Amino acid sequence: MRKFFESIRSVIPIRIEWNVWNGFVLTILGVVYQGEKKGFEGDLLGVYISKEYFYFYILFIEFEVKSPIR
């Protein structure tokens, strides 16, 4: 168990952000984990919106919606 918790790189309780590359970002309970062979990055609830894509996370599952504006 100790090794698992040491592998967690970050836990983000709440993040609201706007930047040039990612557009609008809203994250609630974001987790970044890096194990020896595999890693994981996800949000309990997250929304990523820009001109080119729309991603949303529900229960750490990522859904991607392609932008009709291209």
Q: Is the pLDDT of residue 68 over 80?
A: no
Residue 6 confidence (pLDDT): 65
Closest CA to 15 of 24, 7, 5: 24
Q: Is the pLDDT of residue 69 over 70?
A: no
Alpha carbon distance 42, 61 (integer Å): 7
51 alpha carbon, distance to own chain's centre: 18
Q: Where are the beta strands (DSSP E) in 1-70?
A: 8-19, 23-34, 39-49, 53-58, 61-66
The more confident residue out of 25 and 67 is 25
End-to-end CA separation in angstroms for the chain: 46
The model's pLDDT over 6-65, given as tens digits with 9 standing for 90+, comes to 667 778 899 999 988 778 999 998 888 777 777 788 899 999 888 778 889 999 899 988
